[in-house]
């Protein structure tokens, strides 16, 4: 018992140091859990949404290095080409993952957040963000409910760190499928510590690429 609490205390300290380093070197503030916003302070519907808690930076990097990207230029960790993909963080909060993703040469990085306050925080972070290791010039914070988000053209990496429950997930996937019917392309769905990966697996178009303890990765369509 005493050993467990010592281990947990140590883990929390390490995590606080990692967060401090990430934020100081990027000039942003993305840590801290946030309470569920009142329904009047979100765009769209509050139902089925989860609260803000940022991912651990190392876990986001591990997932982004593991993507089944098509193409061979610009060498991703596995020889894929990030520049052929737009990265979308669904439920992006204060924007931490936008700044992690910007360290890869994605064509564009987009964050979709429905809370007014968190979106404002992300915009403020974007203004302050400065980092020599940045490799994606185009980062956009979109204030929207994931239910209503229109997916952009081109190949996509859709990142989800438990932003919402199965109802919103189904709506988002139905929108994605409609978009893919109109413009067939390669889509990767990457889920960290997923609670509802069964919803993604239940869609006929999705194939499992990899499942680890920390992340599940799915893909649809042909790699470019
Ligand atoms: C667990 S946090 C993940 C934050 C960030 N993506 C990360 O990995 O660090 C989930 C976020 O999803 C947002 N969210 C929940 N429901 C949403 C919805 N329907 N549309 C857009 N954002 C939503 C929450 O406000 C919160 O910021």
Nearest C-alpha neighbor of 70 from the set 38, 107, 97? 107
Q: DSSP state, 95? A: S
Mutation test residue for ligand 1: of 52, 109, 121, 125, the one with most atoms within 8 Å of CB: 52
* Long-range pairs, 139-142, Cβ under 8 A, ≥24: 139/98, 139/99, 139/102, 139/108, 139/109, 139/110, 139/111, 140/108, 140/109, 140/110, 140/111, 141/92, 141/95, 141/98, 141/110, 141/111, 141/113, 142/110, 142/111, 142/112, 142/113
Residue 223 CA from chain centroid, whole number: 20
DSSP for residue 162:
S
- Separation of 113 CA from ligand 1 center, angstroms? 6
Ligand 1 centre distance from Cα of residue 100 (Å): 16
Q: What percent of the chain has pLDDT over 90?
A: 88
Give the lowest-confidence range in 26-30, 33-37, 185-189.
33-37
The residue among 47, 50, 51, 57 whose CA lies nearest residue 34 is 51
Q: Give the Å distance between the CA of 190 and the centre of ligand 1.
A: 14
Pairing mode, if any, of strands 139-143 and 155-160? unpaired
Q: Answer whether 122's CB lies under 8 Å from 141's CB.
A: yes
* Token reading at 65: 């290095």
DSSP type of residue 161: S
Residue 96 pLDDT exceeds 80: yes
Domain that holds residue 44: 2-220
Task: Give the pLDDT mean for 89-97.
Answer: 98
93 lines ligand 1 (CB under 6 A): yes
State how many domains the chain has.
Answer: 1
Residue 78: predicted pLDDT: 53
**Mean pLDDT, the chain, as a whole number?**
94
Q: Which residues, in sequence order, are bridge partners of residue 142?
A: 112
Could you tell me the CATH number of the domain that includes residue 45? 3.40.50.150
Is the pLDDT at 75 greater than 90? The verdict is no
């Amino acid at each position: 018992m005493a050993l467990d609490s010592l281990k947990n205390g140590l883990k929390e300290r390490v995590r606080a140091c990692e967060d401090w380093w990430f934020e100081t070197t990027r000039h942003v503030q993305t840590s801290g859990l946030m309470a569920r916003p009142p329904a009047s302070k979100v765009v769209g519907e509050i139902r089925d949404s989860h609260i803000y808690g940022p991912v651990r930076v190392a876990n986001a990097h591990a997932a982004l290095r593991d993507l089944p990207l098509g193409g061979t230029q610009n060498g991703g960790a596995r020889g894929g080409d990030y520049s052929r993909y737009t990265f979308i963080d669904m439920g992006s909060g204060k924007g931490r993952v936008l700044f992690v993703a910007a360290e890869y040469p994605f064509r564009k990085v987009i964050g979709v957040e429905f809370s007014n306050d968190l979106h404002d925080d992300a915009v403020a972070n974007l203004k302050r963000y400065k980092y020599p290791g940045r490799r994606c010039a185009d980062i956009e914070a979109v204030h929207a409910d994931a239910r209503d988000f229109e997916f952009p053209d081109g190949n996509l990496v859709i990142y989800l760190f438990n932003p919402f429950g199965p109802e919103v997930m189904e709506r988002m996937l139905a929108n994605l499928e409609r978009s893919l019917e109109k413009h067939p392309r390669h889509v990767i769905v990457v889920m960290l510590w997923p609670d509802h990966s069964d919803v993604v697996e239940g869609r006929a178009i999705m194939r499992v690429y990899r499942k680890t303890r920390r992340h599940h990765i799915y893909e649809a369509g042909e790699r470019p």
